Amino acid sequence: MPDRPVTGEFTGLDNLARAFAKVAEDDPGHPALIVDGVKLCYGRLLEQVRRVGAGVSALRSDGKPPRVALSLGNRPELPVLFLGTVAAGGVVGLLDPKWSAGQAAAALETLRPDLHLTAEAAAAWIAAQPAGWSIPTVDPKTPFLVGFTSGTTGRPKAFIRNQGSWLATLEASRVEFGIGPSDTVLVPGPLVHGLGLYGLVEGLSAGATVWVQPKFDAADAAARLEESDITTLVLVPTMLVGILDAAERDGRRFPLLKRVVCSGAKLAPAVHERLTVLCPEAAILEYYGASELSFVSLRSSHEGAPADSVGRPFHGVELSLRDDDGNPVEQGRPGTVWVRSGMLSDGYLGTADSAGFRESDGWGTVGDYGWIDAKGWLRLVGRAGDMVITGGLNVYPAEVEASLRAHPAVAEAVVFALPDPYWGDTVSAVVWWRGAQRASLADLRSWCHQRLEGYKAPRRVFAAADMPLTGSGKIARADVRDRAIAGRLETLE
């Protein structure tokens, strides 16, 4: 793999944990972390991190990075163990406590940890480690994180990040998001997933106070946003909608909120409108990325990006749209999105299926398709494996979903293929209604016809009452399609 240069305020550091440690040494009394009623100032957090670093450093004597598996959930010990392992030059594997026994076993088999800590053992292990350890210099190419993302086989796929890649990511998000010591960051989602984990580390590296919910609670989050000095919210769209629903139901407003950082799926236009009512001063920072790529593009509410775009390239990112042979496509034509930056992953640990991250000459892709308009705004149209081929024509679900979400009655939509004896595949969709509003199949098809080519309008539409979610809070798309096939959803006429 070719070297990727790292430069800047964070990328000049010799240890990913050094940014947090420097804040702690300069202002040890500043509030750092609030998790499940436990409050830690930066000085106390650094003390515990050093204990963990001492313990992790002693796990191996052969010079190889120690591997630590954590099965904790959103507990106060997780940030301590994560930062301490990283500070020691070790590798953290985060296991989701919600996984089945088979999924957890597969992840442990891939990771092969030197230490595996659960919620029952974590606090005692930290307390047993010696104090006084100092954070060493670590090569930026040293791996520090094994994250798990679902593969096509259902077996967790383990991607690897090195310290330099996250130092470059911290530098990029500092430029784009501007989080600092005066901020309080609310992370309502699970720390075992990339968005929540990065929000935690980003906040602590910037000297902010980070408030983590032990378990997502929309009503509690809405209350804290109104009653506390929270300035920054980091979450996925489904959680944001839940918080907005709770706030509107209870008559709450968020006057101190300065920024909403959201990723995982595009926000519907109606969500943007609701946010401008509840927190008119807040910047809506919606970014597109992937666990293997980190940040790719940013759509900021302050920059006038088209509603159906995912914005312009993130700071430090170059984009290239290519055809199946790897050649650049003409502007305005769809192609595979390739990314070059200092933030790319190191690929996968162990055996992975052929789908997912690929790298060539310093450029990486996860197979997403998109196009760039004349002003440089990137639009996604889907992923190669998600494409619907109907009557011999290609339809990418993302553009149909964006059209449906723009309908006043639709809060959310998922588009997929269902087999059809005439068309081969038929464009099909599941929608979730906004409040008491409803629409017919003819209404939705007409709406899409006005915005898309006629063959892209869904021929079959189902309505769902509840929304199945993955552990990270994203819509469980395969589950939604299975429900439609099984006849468990209302069919629109």
What is the tens place of the pLDDT at every residue in 82-97? 999 999 999 999 999 8
| Strand pairing report for 393-395 and 388-390 | antiparallel
In the numeric block, which tokens belong to residue 433? 């209604």
Phi, psi at residue 242, to the nearest 5°? -60, -40
DSSP H or E stretch at residue 299: strand 294-300
Task: Concatenate the DSSP letters of all residues of 317-368 into one string.
Answer: -EEEEE-TTSPBPPTTS-EEEEEESTT----EES---SSS-EEETTEEE-SE
By CB atoms closer than 10 A (0-12, 13-18, 19+), residue 125 is middle
**What is the predicted pLDDT for the residue at 154?**
47
Q: Is 3 exposed, middle or buried (0-12, 13-18, 19+ CB in 10 A)?
A: exposed
Q: What's the residue count for the chain?
A: 493
- β partners of residue 420: 424
List of E strands, 163-268? 184-187, 209-212, 232-235, 259-262
Give the phi and the psi of residue 248 in degrees, each rounded to 5: -70, -35
Q: How far is CA 223 from CA 228, 234, 339, in A?
A: 8, 16, 39
Rg for the chain, CA atoms, rounded: 23
Note the pLDDT of residue 266: 84
Domain locations in the chain as residue ranges: 18-372, 387-491
Q: Which fold has domain 387-491?
A: GMP Synthetase; Chain A, domain 3 (3.30.300)
Which comes out higher in pLDDT, residue 55 or 148?
A: 55
With beta carbons less than 8 A apart as the criterion, state whether 172 and 314 touch: yes
pLDDT at residue 310 above 90?
yes
> Residue 153 pLDDT > 70, yes or no?
no
By three-state DSSP, how is residue 237 classified?
helix
Q: What is the pLDDT of residue 341?
A: 97
Query: Which superfamily is assigned to 18-372 in CATH?
Result: ANL, N-terminal domain (3.40.50.12780)
Which helix (H) or strand (E) element contains residue 428? strand 424-433
Sheet of strand 184-187: strand arrangement: 38-41, 31-35, 209-212, 184-187, 232-235, 259-262, 283-290, 294-300, 312-313
Can you read off the two tokens belonging to residue 183? 């901020």
Residues 6+ positions from 202 with CB-CB distance below 8 Å = 170, 173, 177, 179, 185
State which amino acid sits at residue 211.
Answer: W
Cα distances from 225 to residues 161, 208, 244, 276, in angstroms, run: 32, 16, 11, 15
The mean pLDDT value for 383-399 works out to: 79
Q: How many Cβ atoms sit within 10 Å of the Cβ of residue 463? A: 16
Which pLDDT tens digit goes with each residue over 314-352?
999 999 999 989 999 998 898 999 999 999 999 998 765
Helical segments of 32-158, H only? 42-57, 77-87, 101-111, 122-127
Which two three-digit tokens encode residue 81?
């163990």
Say which DSSP state 264 is in. S
Alpha-carbon distance 178 to 168, whole Å? 15
pLDDT at 442: 95
Residue 131 confidence class, pLDDT cut points 50, 70, 90: very high
> How many percent of the chain have pLDDT more than 90?
73
The pLDDT of residue 424: 80
pLDDT band at 6 (very low <50, low <70, confident <90, very high): very low
What's phi and psi for 328, nearest 5 deg? -60, 140
CA-based angle 58:62:67, to the nearest 5?
60
Residue 197 phi/psi, 5° resolution?
A: -65, -45
Per-residue pLDDT at 384: 63
